[in-house]
A and B are shown apart, each in its own frame.
Chain A
Amino acid sequence: MSDLVLGIETSCDETAAAIVGEGSKLVSSVVSSQVDIHAEFGGVVPELAGRAHVQLIVPVVEKALGDAGLDTTKPSIGSIACTIGPGLVGSLLVGVSAAKAMAYAWGVPFIGVNHLEAHLYASFLADPELEFPMMVLLVSGGHTMLIHAKSHGDYVLVGQTLDDAAGEAFDKVARFIGLGYPGGPAIDKAAQLGDASLVRFPRPMIDSEGFEFSFSGLKTSVVAWARKHPDASAEDISACFQEAVVDVLVTKAIRAAREAGVSNLCIGGGVAANSALRAETERRCAEEGLRAFIPARAFCTDNAAMVAAAGWWRMQNDGPSVLSTGAIPNLRFP
């Protein structure tokens, strides 16, 4: 049987499909926001709506199959992996229904994948030699967590945010200082032109016991400071804010790796595309004698290659999911 996995992802804003071999070899990857599929439908497709996924799922899957040189009507693939949660039920259902229908029609196994577990597998796309155990800093718009990954499918939650995710703080600060949406890339870009020594924003919970995070207070602090300093540039505020977030994330991730006695530190999720977080993770890991695994930016943000990679390992360890598997909007991880 083919070792190619078709991965499908529709849990949030992106409709995505990808082909990955043996859980780490990228063959093709298509993410709706990166291609001009919208034009085919003669207008702007609302990015957040479930119906956008409905319109995009078939062209995105066809493009992923086509880019991989596969027949789009009966491709030679070994299985289909799809995100079943967490996410919006209306969005998840589009991917899950499509994936199950194709699996049934093409006679290949269907594998349900947890979106958050999939983010962890982006690191295998970066480096197939990556070995357990490892500490994973999973940081995105919706989640901020530290996971001790002991082996495939064996995870321990070390800590997570008590309020806002780090990516959400990026987005809200960006909107407040007029940088627009999406805020993560905008802050990243502005910060490169800013002076990070202008003001020292708080590092919430950086020295606290345990590995919980909190970014709501930092967000409020930055917004309050910016209100009082209308002349401060967006570049400087971005640099100071970003430095505070990155300092907290990297400091706690490294301490978590040390305490767990692991020497591999992976980052994943949309915020892992941030230049400062990538550079600081690399630098502090080198200082501490840890190995840093940093996926390419395209595999930090939502994508289906990571879903295919996670699905391949899930299949090796647990076999396929039953076709009665449905979308699970509040699926927990671990």
Chain B
Amino acid sequence: MSNQAISASGALTFRAEDLAGTKILARAIASIIRKGDVILLLGDLGAGKTAFVQLFGLELGVSDPITSPTFTLVQTYTGKLTIFHADLYRLGGGQDVVDLGLDEQADEGVTLIEWGDVGESVLFPDYLKLTIELAGKDETDEQPSCEGEPISQVGEPRLFNLEAVGASWAERLREIGLSEVEK
């Protein structure tokens, strides 16, 4: 169902055929997460950034529904660890991102930042960069093929590229308990 390829540098590509595959990845990352960790999520509209955070939150025992923080900018959830779920989509970068104060509270939980590339240069020195791409077939239907399901039901294949930036993630990515490594 899923496979991964890991390089010596600590980068890793994981293919999820459907949401069950994404869940395997969410569980693997949740198993190595520590207080103070930061994950930047990158990917186009509809790539599945919020869906990943929903699954990750479930793995950490969050019971409140996790919804998109695009407008609210930062939402906080309580599970085994506190989750700060942020979204930089509306921000211009630079000082706007700094003013959110994400770094001031990061030590108190796990910070997941959608559209994290907007703040990449000004935020954290040490983080996991998770880039999501749709890897599905190109639809050519005249009518919308997607039934508009809630993201918790979307099943297109996706590629997750995991890149360790800074020291703390590289080691852990090698230890990550995912399925068979395939080149």
**Which residues of A line the B interface, CB within 8 A?**
12, 46, 48-51, 86-90, 140-142, 160-165, 167-168, 171-172, 176, 181, 199-205, 212, 214, 216-225, 228, 244, 329-330
Contact = CB atoms under 8 A, between A and B. Distances in A.
Interface residues of B, number: 39
Given A49-B96, A89-B101, A163 B67 contact: yes
Contacts, number: 134
Contact of A329 (B68, B76, B91): B76
B121 interface: no
B63 interface: no
B71 A199 contact: no
Contacts of B90: 48, 171, 181
B144 interface: yes
B99 interface: yes
Interface of chain B, main secondary structure: loop
Interface stretch (B13-21, B149-157, B160-168, B174-182): B149-157
A48 B96 contact: yes
Interface of B: 45-46, 50-51, 54, 65, 67-77, 89-92, 95-96, 99-101, 139-140, 143-152, 154
Contacts of B148: 201-204, 214, 217-218, 220-221, 244
Contacts of A228: 139-140
14 contacts: A12-B72, A48-B91, A50-B99, A88-B72, A140-B71, A142-B70, A165-B68, A172-B45, A204-B147, A204-B149, A212-B150, A220-B146, A220-B154, A329-B76
A216 B144 contact: no
A48 B45 contact: no
B151 A216 contact: yes
Given A162-B150, A201-B148, A217-B149, 16 more contacts: A46-B92, A48-B91, A49-B95, A51-B99, A142-B69, A163-B50, A181-B90, A200-B143, A204-B150, A216-B46, A216-B68, A217-B146, A220-B154, A221-B147, A228-B140, A329-B76
Contacts of B70: 141-142, 164-165, 168, 171-172
Smallest CB-CB A-B distances: 4 pairs: A202-B148, A220-B46, A141-B71, A214-B150
